[in-house]
């Protein structure tokens, strides 16, 4: 078998590796669609297959040299998340959605962090970052199941609003925890002055993101062509991401602030959709790269910790959603079954795991990435079944779809590529 690292041309290595990753991701979705699994699952498995531990088609040197793809992909994802913070919509939904989202996300965060600290006695930085990542929920599987059964009603509306805000909570939690982690010394004590610097830089990045969003709204108007709008949006996001890299902080909050400021200044939803349509190849490469980075030999080491993470996160999500519904006095079926619809995890969590791998030293960073990637595949497999159970047990769906009501493909699923938001 020809190995690309045997070539004498670095440019050829990179270009051929990109081609292999795109083709592998595309082919993997042919299988996952037949199994009715999310495309992200196929991308991760494709990355494992072409990575250094299985077929070895993509050299490790290429994988190591493409960290910037993570930053770019997360910039696009965070910008898309920002659209859900439109003040008018938040006022319409009221405090109920915000309360339930905060409680279920923070319950998962608290449960995972406590389990890692108390049961496994793992270092505080590891526990905080893994806990922050656990608060994220992947909406694709749940939305796909809702579309499959054509479910409608208050229960479905509540699910859709929560999964839209969930990733935003995760981004904020991770950014705060990463600042805390950077301030923890070797003895496990937090150094206040060291903590202050990244928090101030993050606050400055958010302010810069808001200003960039307002500037983007002024630049992107209806008179510009689609191509020009895309160029301006991508240029602004890359500029923000690059400036964050200079001061060594995550671009997540800044890019989310760009999207939030843009949509609240009167920006068009079409801009987000145009970016989402233009970025699938980048996101595909990002997820395949994530799979290729998976340390297969470490699966045995992470085994018990990963199993604990898998079940404790589900328990935290379920109990947090139940508590949030109890506080907001929702109907009993919603209170009992909402948590089941929040099980899937991929997308944003995989990007956060890649950032955690940079922040944490050596084996700890690899452990976080291994746990999130391996559990993400499992979550995306059981997630649709959990969402289906929630829809039926809540009474939202009362019968199986007939032959005429064949499952509909989720938006973007037939293309073999992921969507940005």
Q: How far apart are CA 82 and CA 318, in angstroms?
A: 25
Q: What is the DSSP string of 132-162?
A: HHHT---HHHHHHHHHHTT--SHHHHHHHHH
User: How confident is the model over 394-414, as pLDDT tens digits?
Assistant: 888 875 444 334 444 433 333
User: For residue 229, what are the contacts with CB-CB under 8 A and spacing of at least 6?
Assistant: 220, 271, 274
Above 90 in pLDDT, residue 315?
yes
Q: Calculate mean pLDDT across residues 373-378.
A: 82
Q: How far apart are the first and last CA of the chain?
A: 38
pLDDT for 268: 83
Q: Are 290 and 73 in contact (CB under 8 A)?
A: no
| DSSP assigned state of 271 | H
The first and second tokens of residue 347, run together, are 């997308």
Above 50 in pLDDT, residue 417?
no
Residue 242 C-alpha from the chain's centroid:
20
43 CB-contact burial (10 Å; exposed 0-12 / middle 13-18 / buried 19+):
buried
298 strand-pairing partners = none
pTM of the model: 0.75
Please tell me the total number of residues recorded for the chain in this structure: 421
The first and second tokens of residue 211, run together, are 């200003």
What domains does the chain contain, in order, with CATH numbers?
7-399 (1.20.1530.20)
The first and second tokens of residue 14, run together, are 């990179």
Residue 240 C-alpha from the chain's centroid:
19
106 CB-contact burial (10 Å; exposed 0-12 / middle 13-18 / buried 19+):
middle
User: For residue 186, what are the contacts with CB-CB under 8 A and spacing of at least 6?
Assistant: none
| Closest of 253, 96, 89, 269 to residue 179, by C-alpha | 253
pLDDT for 53: 87
User: How confident is the model over 183-240, as pLDDT tens digits?
Assistant: 765 555 556 656 677 678 878 888 999 999 999 999 887 678 888 889 999 999 999 9
Q: How far apart are CA 259 and CA 360, in angstroms?
A: 29
User: For residue 81, what are the contacts with CB-CB under 8 A and spacing of at least 6?
Assistant: 167, 168, 171, 256, 259, 348, 421
Higher pLDDT, 257 or 37: 257
Q: Are 73 and 351 in contact (CB under 8 A)?
A: yes
Q: Quickly list H helices, 294-361.
A: 298-328, 332-337, 348-359
pLDDT for 402: 43
pLDDT for 346: 72
């Amino acid at each position: 078998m020809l190995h690309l690292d045997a070539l004498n041309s670095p440019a050829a290595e990179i270009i051929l590796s990109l081609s292999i990753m795109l083709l592998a991701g595309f082919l993997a979705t042919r299988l996952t669609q037949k199994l009715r699994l999310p495309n992200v699952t196929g991308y991760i498995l494709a990355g494992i297959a072409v990575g250094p531990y299985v077929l070895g088609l993509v050299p490790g040197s290429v994988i190591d040299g493409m960290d910037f793809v993570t930053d770019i992909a997360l910039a696009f994802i965070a910008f898309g998340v920002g659209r859900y913070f439109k003040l008018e919509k938040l006022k319409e939904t009221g405090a109920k959605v915000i309360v339930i989202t905060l409680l279920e996300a923070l319950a998962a965060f608290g449960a995972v962090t406590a389990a890692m600290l108390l049961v496994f006695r793992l270092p505080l930085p590891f526990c905080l970052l893994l806990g922050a990542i656990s608060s994220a929920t992947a909406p694709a599987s749940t939305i796909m199941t809702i579309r499959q059964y054509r479910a409608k009603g208050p229960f479905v509306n509540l699910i859709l609003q929560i999964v839209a805000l969930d990733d935003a909570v995760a981004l904020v939690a991770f950014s705060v925890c990463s600042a805390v982690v950077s301030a923890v010394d070797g003895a496990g004590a937090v150094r206040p002055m060291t903590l202050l610097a990244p928090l101030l830089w993050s606050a400055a990045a958010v302010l810069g993101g808001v200003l960039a969003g307002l500037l983007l709204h002024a630049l992107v108007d209806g008179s510009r062509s689609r191509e020009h709008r895309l160029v301006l949006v991508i240029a602004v996001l890359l500029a923000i991401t690059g400036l964050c890299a200079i001061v060594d902080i995550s671009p997540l909050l800044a890019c989310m602030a760009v999207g939030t400021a843009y949509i609240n200044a009167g920006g068009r939803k079409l801009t987000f959709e145009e970016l989402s349509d233009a970025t699938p190849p980048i996101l595909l490469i990002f997820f395949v790269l994530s799979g290729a980075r998976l340390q297969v030999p470490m699966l045995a080491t992470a085994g018990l910790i990963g199993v604990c993470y898998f079940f404790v996160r589900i328990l935290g999500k379920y109990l947090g959603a139940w508590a949030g519904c109890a506080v907001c006095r929702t109907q009993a079926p919603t209170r009992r079954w909402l948590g089941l619809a929040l099980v899937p995890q991929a997308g944003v969590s995989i990007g956060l795991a890649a950032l955690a791998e940079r922040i944490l030293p050596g084996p700890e960073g690899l452990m976080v990435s291994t746990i999130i990637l391996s559990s993400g595949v499992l979550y995306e497999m059981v997630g649709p079944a959990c969402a289906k159970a929630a829809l039926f047990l809540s009474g939202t769906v009362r019968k199986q779809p007939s032959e005429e009501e064949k499952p509909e493909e989720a938006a973007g699923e037939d293309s073999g590529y992921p969507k940005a938001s």
